[in-house]
Structure 1
Amino acid sequence: MSDPATTSRQRPAARLDGDLLPAVLRVFEHGPYCVWICDAEEIVVHATAASATLLGLSPDAPLGRRPEDVLEGPSGNLARWGTLRRLATRNGRAQTEMLLRTRADQALWCRLTLERLSDRGDGTPALSALVLEDITTTRIQAVLQAPVLDAIVHEQPLHELMTRVCQQVEALAPDVVATVLRIDDEQRIQPLAGPSFSPEVAASYHGVPIGPSVGSCGTAAWRGSPVLVTDIATDPLWVKYRAAVLPLGFRACWSSPIKNHGQRVLATFAFYFRESRGPSDLHRRLVATCLDLCTLAFEREDSRAHIHELAFFDGLTGLPNRRELQRQAGEAVQSARREQRPLALLFIDLDDFKLINDSQGHAVGDAVLRQVAQRLERSVRQDDLVGRLAGDEFVVVLPDCDPPASRDMAERIAARLAEPMSVPNPPGAALTLHAGASIGVAMLPEDGTDLETLLRHADLAMYQAKAEGRGQLAFFHRELDERSRERMRLETDLRRAIGAGELVLVYQPVVRAHGGGITGLHSVEALARWQHPQLGAIEPARFIALAEACGLIGALSRWAVDSACAQMQRWRRAGIAVPQVSVNLSARDFHDPTLVDWISDTLRRHAMPGEKLTLELTESALLDRRNDTLAELAALRELGVRLALDDFGTGYSSLSHLHRLPIQRVKLDQSFVHDLEHDANAQALTTAVLRIGESLGIEVVAEGVETAGQSQFLRQRGCTLLQGYLHGRPMSAEALEGWLRGLRG
């Protein structure tokens, strides 16, 4: 990066007017991207805080300067800047990739995106945004790692492979020249690759024994560790060899040994520099990647079996991967069918593995998968097949195994997987985790005569087992297949129904009550109903669960909030006093980054104060670690929207969250209300919840009030908000209007 004081074009940062800047930059201000806003003269007038972390600049360094005066690359200023500007002017947006240097003289690959944001009415851009993204890792993967791995898999000759590695490295770091020298069985140097190195000089190393002072490479091979020489002209390691390389313009050399897994040195990988210097962070990352790739290539050369293992076996667990599993399982199925012998296929999916991964990290998750694989292999017979299909899904194929024997085996596996496992968790002590599994079983020939059918049917059975609870086992039966097809049809119908008017809202009143009885309407809860044209009424629990599973819950929630707000507007215009409406949101709705925006837009379109809307959420939404739920809840409260915690008392950590959440209402779960007249525990818990609500200033709504005895108990304990069939069933908007007239009468 160039110094601001030396740039003639530097000027005081202009003031950026308008509403665009906050909207554009809010997402990026503290994110991984560096964003610069430029004015019509392409002067930087705003830079996000990422300028410091990404480029090593002070936050104000880019201000008042042109981007090309701030950004530098190893080959000088941005040579492609003019092209980038012209393309952005013509197309509104342009993109390029460039190797840049930071203020700390570190190199990194960046993707530069220039976008024209607005114009002044005459077609001339008034603002533009330059977004810089560090793509060093993906660039290394795309330019170096992926092509070389592909070449390894396709068994490209070693010399060509090493030449390709050097060429790809030099494309990523133009300031180095790369070489690979092989070390033969007699510990002598054999030049292997160096496309930009002098062939004559490389040939002079041929047959030279490695030793303690044989340049950087021969010494690195002899020591078995990297050797950095920052000044070839004076370093004693280069006394015998400096005359050959100094005329080529090389002043420094960094060489690293390439070792196999037995730590035997196979070759050396070297960077030559034209300056007296050491490696940058980019150089270190490239060398680390190259050493892994070169080790893989050399070991492939020494042992084709190693490559076969990488191609056909899972690198994490050592089990056959999907490809090899399908081959071996397919052969086992064909053999069993040909010999008319039974065969069982077990589809195994870990319970709550995602929770382990999210809460403990992928390293712990990987350790769990390795232990699961080991337990599976120890559980089966010698001729059985165990493979990892994907993620936390495993398959076990049991040849010559009838249904009773397969049940015994599946139960043995389930019991083994349910045992606690100790997983290393550096730097702390080992973790004790439980990773039970749900298992689905399909039998040959009853459930299918080919591998694809057996896999599909075992998968369906596994989902049935999972629906029945943790650690369950289920055998496939034809009803599951029909149920799966019916679910697919129902999913298609639900997609249509959301936009076709088949879904409607009904409203259940929440009444105010005191010791003497009901005093009025407090609010209504909007509940979705689906009248299917052919199937009739579909249970809400069924289609809402379907919407969750197939990704339609967001559309369903938006429809429900919009419809409820529209109905509130109609009631208001008709002079019908409905104080509030509540709508249920799913935990998945909090995965939507536009949640607050679309709630705000819905309220605005229907001219509805936020205080008139209550959003009911479950505890799972509060415990989802992937979302900044607290920030979203706070933003909803700023809109005036009220928040209610549904099914309170059923979660295991509601109390630990309640005191720090912006919740105005909790809904006492109806399972407590149901037992009030005969269960002392339910009475005590209900009373405790009411006292908690009272002490925290939170409304408590009792759900599921169906009898006069329940209502009386609640009112006597100070519960003033009641909901249930006793006081009003869910009803249409028109029926609610009649209900209200009856309440007033």
Structure 2
Amino acid sequence: MSSPLISAYLISVGILLMAAAHAAILARGSGHARVNWSFAAICVGFAGFQFCNALQYSAPDHARALAAHLWVNFFSVLVIPPIALAAAALDPKKRSRQPFVWLMGFVLLVIGYNFFMPYGYRFYALDPDKLLTLPWGENIRMIQGQANLVYRATRLVSLIVMVYTLGVTFSLMRMKDRLSSTLIWIGLAIMLVTLALSSMSDSGVISVPYLGGFGFVFLAGSFSLVVRKEMRVRELQEKRIARALAKEVQGRRLADARADQILHHDALTGLPNRAGFILCLENMIAQHSPETKIAVLLFDIDRLGALKGTHGLATSDELLLQVSQRLRGRIRDSDVLARSRSDGFALIASQIKTASGVGVFCEKLRGTLTEAVAVEGQHFKLSASIGLAIYPDDATNAGELLSAAELALHEAKNAGVSQIRSFHPALKENFRQRIGLESALREALDRKQFFLCYQPQVSASTGRTLGMEALIRWQHPELGLVSPLHFIPLAEANGLIGHIGAWVIDTACAQLAAWRQAGHADLRMAVNLSATQLLDPYLEDTLLGAIAGHGLVPADLELEITESVLIQDPEQTVARFNALRQLGLRLSIDDFGTGYSSLSYLRVLPVQAFKLDRSFVEGLGKDETSLEICASAIRLAQNLNLDIIAEGVETQAQAEWLRALGCPIFQGYLFARPLVAEAATEHLAQERAGGPGAAGELLLPGFGPAPLLP
């Protein structure tokens, strides 16, 4: 005999289990995991409820129907906690956990009571066994009776849970949550209706089978639709996310490439910058073959700073760009060219087998750089200073190798233009000493370690002192007397020359004022100026302040500028000379004849004197060339109505030659070595009294006494 109702129950079991599986699948990747797991538990509970109903209604006798009924009771109570938990998981308001603990305790008590009592938790007495004949002729075995208090309490708790669930569902609908669809609303309504029908059937008011499970089947089916929709939406979201991630990854790669270009490449030439150069060097060292060497060459274009000042930054940039393109065309594919320096480039030459190969490579590069570069119709002849270091001979890692090349370049630049220097161990020690000396130099002025010596400039005809040249000396507490040839370039390089020069000018003016008060009214003071001082915009204020502060006039002070200073910035030098001359200061060219354009400068510079370099004086009586140079220089001074001072006069024979040639002023050891202030004062006093020209006991240690005038 066919049983449509039993079949419907069993079909609903399959639907509910399928819904449970869907909910479990969704729970693994959803943001509503607790809701989905709870719904899966509810589906399993109702599947058991429906299955046991099928067993009860198809039981062959009353005893078996009652046994199945006890399990119907079990599953009907078991679904209450997961329904409450699902609603709580969706509730936007945070609830206390205590009511749910009480609910679980109540359900456990009811389940225990259900299996303890002979008729379960619903009835305390049963109506006579009867079969219910459905409209289509199917007979099912009904269990009805008198409801007890536990059953009524359970129904009340179920109603409270359903009302709470309806409230949460309503709030979710207002929030437009995806899980709160109209279908779910309908399913909840059906469940409420079937719950009411079940209560009426239990009490005997009507005779209908339990239909609550079918109501939940509708709800589960609705949920399955929501699940499928959710999964389709999630699939679309995953695709959108995958596309967005792919786009983001591509964008990140492009951004990383741009960042790498910015961080590791020079914007002007496109070559690796210093950071990129170091990375390339580290990679090459990591892949280095013991049979070969790696050479690092640093080269700076000589006088590029002056070119920037005279022709502009755009011209210098175009020049650097052309040089970089030329160099890239001359190096090997295995080499790496970089612009790691503002005025030059760096090169990594790999796979070098011999030291001679490195030398040939350097000469090739220098030849490339000396080729003229055309920029905006102008042709520039360049030169470069090159520093070289070799791995593994000079260093064991990239940082040390680069430092070694820097030291070599520093030595090359100090040696002059277009020089090549290789690293050697002594360079590091020399540089360390230089750093120590520079640090001590910064403190020397405050600690009053500088002092001035004065060397007389005497009349060739009378032997009387006409002026004094102030010469700075540094008495270091540990190194002793430090030569100006060592510390003056350091002072110029680190910016201290301005302060030191101002101290020299003030001290020299103070000493001249003291000698004037002692009666030496016609004495002049000569002070040397460096290139940095000459271009100092505050030089005039420094000079006039010192002169006025010590009661002197500008004509009392003579400024000596070496001829090599003049060629660094000719236009500005001439302008500054004219400004100083207008103040009334005397100007003199030192070391005349050793520079490049002596005669042309004499034509445009407002000088009153120049000094004949000691190298020409030393050759007098030894070679005809020195004699002719001295004679020509003296005649030039006479024709231009300039004073000329012969430096380095050390022998009587040299003095006689110069007198014969007509040189009016001498300076040198023949007359006096540089004297400390006290010795120079006594020298002047004895000269005025007609005595010997110096006080030997007041000379610096190692200087020795000054010889007497002839």
TM range, smaller chain: 0.5 to 0.7
Matched residue SS, 1:645: strand
Which residue number corresponds to residue 293 of structure 2? 342
In the TM superposition, residue 325 of structure 1 has moved relative to its aligned partner by 2.0
Which residue number corresponds to residue 48 of structure 1? none
Tell me if structure 2 keeps the 8 A contact 1:344–1:444: yes
- Matched residues in 2 for 1:740 and 1:574: separation? 10
- Matched residues in 2 for 1:674 and 1:364: separation? 46
Matched residue SS, 1:558: helix
Which residue number corresponds to residue 304 of structure 2? 353
1:580 is aligned, of 521, 524, 542, to 524
- Matched residues in 1 for 2:570 and 2:560: separation? 20
Does the C-alpha gap of structure 1 residues 301 and 627 become closer, same or farther in structure 2, counting only changes over 3 Å? farther
In the TM superposition, residue 441 of structure 1 has moved relative to its aligned partner by 1.5
In the TM superposition, residue 527 of structure 1 has moved relative to its aligned partner by 0.5
Does the C-alpha gap of structure 1 residues 304 and 728 become closer, same or farther in structure 2, counting only changes over 3 Å? closer
1:615 is aligned, of 559, 562, 580, to 559
Whichever residue aligns with residue 353 of structure 1, its letter is L
Matched, 1:491 2:443: no
> For residues 384-395 of structure 1, what are the structure 2 equivalents within 5 Å?
384-395=335-346
Which residue number corresponds to residue 188 of structure 1? none
Tell me if structure 2 keeps the 8 A contact 1:347–1:441: yes
Tell me if structure 1 keeps the 8 A contact 2:323–2:369: no
Tell me if structure 1 keeps the 8 A contact 2:561–2:590: yes
Structure number with greater Rg is: 2
Does the C-alpha gap of structure 1 residues 531 and 706 become closer, same or farther in structure 2, counting only changes over 3 Å? same
> For residues 126-275 of structure 1, what are the structure 2 equivalents within 5 Å?
none
- Matched residues in 2 for 1:545 and 1:379: separation? 36
Which residue number corresponds to residue 598 of structure 1? 542
- Matched residues in 2 for 1:315 and 1:399: separation? 25
- Matched residues in 1 for 2:505 and 2:593: separation? 26
Matched residue SS, 2:287: helix
In the TM superposition, residue 599 of structure 1 has moved relative to its aligned partner by 0.8
Query: Which piece of structure 1 moves more, 320-329 or 451-460?
Result: 320-329
| Percent of residue pairs bearing the same amino acid type | 38
- Matched residues in 1 for 2:263 and 2:528: separation? 48
- Matched residues in 2 for 1:738 and 1:675: separation? 32
> For residues 712-723 of structure 1, what are the structure 2 equivalents within 5 Å?
712-723=656-667
Deviations 1:113-158 (A, max 9, x none): xxxxxxxxxxxxxxxxxxxxxxxxxxxxxxxxxxxxxxxxxxxxxx
What is the aligned length? Answer: 439
Does the C-alpha gap of structure 1 residues 521 and 374 become closer, same or farther in structure 2, counting only changes over 3 Å? same
Tell me if structure 2 keeps the 8 A contact 1:565–1:602: yes
Tell me if structure 2 keeps the 8 A contact 1:510–1:525: yes
Which residue number corresponds to residue 461 of structure 1? 408
Whichever residue aligns with residue 368 of structure 2, its letter is L
Which residue number corresponds to residue 541 of structure 1? 485
Which residue number corresponds to residue 316 of structure 1? 268
Which residue number corresponds to residue 701 of structure 1? 645
Structure with greater helix percent: 2
In the TM superposition, residue 554 of structure 1 has moved relative to its aligned partner by 1.0
Does the C-alpha gap of structure 1 residues 438 and 302 become closer, same or farther in structure 2, counting only changes over 3 Å? closer
Matched residue SS, 1:448: coil
Which residue number corresponds to residue 511 of structure 1? 458
- Matched residues in 2 for 1:407 and 1:628: separation? 41
1:478 is aligned, of 404, 409, 425, to 425
Tell me if structure 1 keeps the 8 A contact 2:319–2:375: no
Matched residue SS, 2:607: coil
Whichever residue aligns with residue 404 of structure 1, its letter is A
Which residue number corresponds to residue 684 of structure 1? 628
Deviations 1:13-33 (A, max 9, x none): xxxxxxxxxxxxxxxxxxxxx
In the TM superposition, residue 423 of structure 1 has moved relative to its aligned partner by 0.9
- Matched residues in 1 for 2:446 and 2:256: separation? 58
> For residues 120-131 of structure 1, what are the structure 2 equivalents within 5 Å?
none
2:279 is aligned, of 327, 334, 341, to 327
In the TM superposition, residue 308 of structure 1 has moved relative to its aligned partner by 6.2
2:594 is aligned, of 650, 658, 681, to 650
In the TM superposition, residue 630 of structure 1 has moved relative to its aligned partner by 3.8
- Matched residues in 1 for 2:566 and 2:606: separation? 11
In the TM superposition, residue 385 of structure 1 has moved relative to its aligned partner by 0.9
Does the C-alpha gap of structure 1 residues 692 and 412 become closer, same or farther in structure 2, counting only changes over 3 Å? closer
In the TM superposition, residue 631 of structure 1 has moved relative to its aligned partner by 4.2
Structure 1: which 5+ runs fail to align? 1-298
Structure with greater strand percent: 1
Tell me if structure 2 keeps the 8 A contact 1:344–1:401: yes
Matched residue SS, 2:454: strand
Deviations 1:198-229 (A, max 9, x none): xxxxxxxxxxxxxxxxxxxxxxxxxxxxxxxx
- Matched residues in 2 for 1:493 and 1:700: separation? 38
Which residue number corresponds to residue 465 of structure 2? 521
Tell me if structure 1 keeps the 8 A contact 2:559–2:586: yes
Deviations 1:444-467 (A, max 9, x none): 233323322211110101111223
- Matched residues in 2 for 1:418 and 1:399: separation? 21
In the TM superposition, residue 698 of structure 1 has moved relative to its aligned partner by 1.1
Tell me if structure 2 keeps the 8 A contact 1:351–1:470: yes
Tell me if structure 2 keeps the 8 A contact 1:417–1:436: no
Does the C-alpha gap of structure 1 residues 495 and 406 become closer, same or farther in structure 2, counting only changes over 3 Å? farther
In the TM superposition, residue 440 of structure 1 has moved relative to its aligned partner by 1.3
Tell me if structure 2 keeps the 8 A contact 1:375–1:416: no
Structure 2: which 5+ runs fail to align? 1-250, 692-710
In the TM superposition, residue 303 of structure 1 has moved relative to its aligned partner by 11
Which residue number corresponds to residue 423 of structure 1? 374
Which residue number corresponds to residue 509 of structure 2? 565
